[in-house]
Structure 1
Amino acid sequence: MALLEARNVQKHFGSVEVLKSIDLDVEQGQVVALIGASGSGKTTFLRCINLLEQYDAGSIALDGEVVGFTSDGRRRPLSERRVSAQRARIGMVFQQFNLFPHMTAEQNVMLGLTKVQGKAKDEAATIARHWLDRVGLSERRDHYPYQLSGGQQQRVAIARAVAMSPRLMLFDEATSALDPELVAEVLAVIQDLAKSGMTMLLVSHEMLFVRDVASKVVFMDGGRIAQAGPPEEVFHHPENERLKTFLGRFHGMFGQPV
């Protein structure tokens, strides 16, 4: 059984069908990258997994448990308490950092550990310091967000998410709000987490990074999965015409498509 199983996932915004029968498996320890043009449904799919958007049809299961709805065939929304418990097993890092400005880096990381998981402050502080050290910010743990660069704030956001020990990490274009010179430091943290075996589903426009870190690449187009496979196959042997056009924007970065 895959850690994450999406079957026939559909989502509408009014009359617009944003996700059209998405089927996707993410195995334990796998890094799956979603690529495609803006508006192809990548972020919406992540938000449905994390229940920030309610999908209209199909099913999304984490560890065999359907996310957001009952699994008795009647498809009734779960209670907010059940949804919160499911969401706690899925970490998500957004484009924006969403740190609390009145809290230090350490306090931002501790908050979920104490409020959601009920850990004692001493234990939460130990965990927070461990993860801030992992993302290279042990000397910045007492700094407030305004005292940190954008890249440092995003690394705090990553530490906050992974400190909760999620079963699955979602990254939604985690570097898109950063100045170019700060992108590399955040990508290095994500790559380190990938090497440690963390299961990830990420949306990124950093194609070379995707090629190097992903075990599976999924190209989305118009709310559908148009092609999926290992990075070598997707980037160097695209079969889908829309994928060929998309990769063409990167000026031969991956060589001449076959």
Structure 2
Amino acid sequence: MSDQPLLRAQGVRKSFGSVEVLKGIDLEVRQGQVVSLIGASGSGKTTFLRCVNLLEEHDAGDILLDGEPIGYRVENGRRRRLSETRVSAQRARIGMVFQQFNLFPHLTAEENVMLGLTKVLGKGKAEAREIAGHWLGRVGLEARRAHYPYQLSGGQQQRVAIARAVAMEPRLLLFDEVTSALDPELVAEVLGVMQQLAESGMTMLVVSHEMLFVRDVSHHVVFMDGGRVAQAGPPAEVFDRPDSDRLRGFLGRFHGMFGGVRH
């Protein structure tokens, strides 16, 4: 892993009307790292991911990818939104997998993966089809490449969505509670694909309530509470030595899963 952060957030704030959802987030992700965001619903995790991926525009602070501000430039001390062309180019370097699969129902698995390759990256259909086949094979769906979403299970659809994101060769891959819409028996197959990506060196920023997965796969864990980073550190530190009642209470919801937690 590089010593220089691939992603750096400094003092990031975001409000919706009078409600401040992000209250000064500082966070770094280095190349090859898996950083996981944990915390109760409403703590700002998904909003932060959406700011990183330019689906929401943050109100203050900086989010930098490879040292470049995301979504805006500073002129005469003022932030100015980048052109949509430039924003699209930045977004292409950041892949995102959502809670819902967001597959196009009229396209096959292969065509769903090919679409961004041809429309965004400008690759020819033959090359795009080869890349799509490679990544569908990597997520265990080579035999399903001609299937439409309705012919796939939820876990298979989510694996297509992961293949679609990774095929774009993003610098950073974001996962937003990607197992939350799945039946319990399908969760393991999606987490298995994510673990393989982590082991291959993919840089990942993950929002998840799958605590065993977070502990096993992450290099760094960030506990968010009320729009702030309440504790951050290596998994063993966060899970075994929570330094607040809020974190102890949050971990306590997982029924003694972490025997080392001190109360």
TM-score range, shorter chain: over 0.9
User: Structure 2: any 5+ residue segments left out of the alignment?
Assistant: none
User: Which of 223, 229, 236 is residue 232 of structure 1 equivalent to?
Assistant: 236
User: Which of 5, 13, 23 is residue 2 of structure 1 equivalent to?
Assistant: 5
CA distance in 2, matches of 1:241, 1:62: 34
CA distance in 2, matches of 1:253, 1:234: 14
User: Which of 55, 59, 66 is residue 56 of structure 1 equivalent to?
Assistant: 59
The residue number in structure 2 matching 1:198 is: 202
C-alpha distance after superposition, 1:12-45 (max 9, x if no partner)? 0000000000000100000000000000000000
The letter of the residue matching 1:86 is Q
TM-score by length of 2: 0.97
The letter of the residue matching 2:48 is F
User: Structure 1: any 5+ residue segments left out of the alignment?
Assistant: none
CA distance in 2, matches of 1:93, 1:11: 22
CA RMSD of aligned residues (A): 0.7
The letter of the residue matching 1:187 is L
> What SS is found at the alignment partner of 1:70?
strand
C-alpha distance after superposition, 1:218-253 (max 9, x if no partner)? 000000000000000000111122101101111211
CA distance in 2, matches of 1:240, 1:159: 38
Shift of 1:71: 3.5
Residue 110, structure 1, aligned to residue 110, structure 2: no
CA distance in 2, matches of 1:191, 1:257: 24
> What SS is found at the alignment partner of 1:76?
strand
Residue 37, structure 1, aligned to residue 32, structure 2: no
The letter of the residue matching 2:243 is E
The letter of the residue matching 1:76 is R
Instruction: Count the aligned residue pairs.
Output: 258
Shift of 1:256: 4.3
The residue number in structure 1 matching 2:126 is: 122
The residue number in structure 1 matching 2:18 is: 15
TM-score by length of 1: 0.99
User: Which of 221, 232, 236 is residue 217 of structure 1 equivalent to?
Assistant: 221
The letter of the residue matching 2:226 is G
Identical columns (%):
77
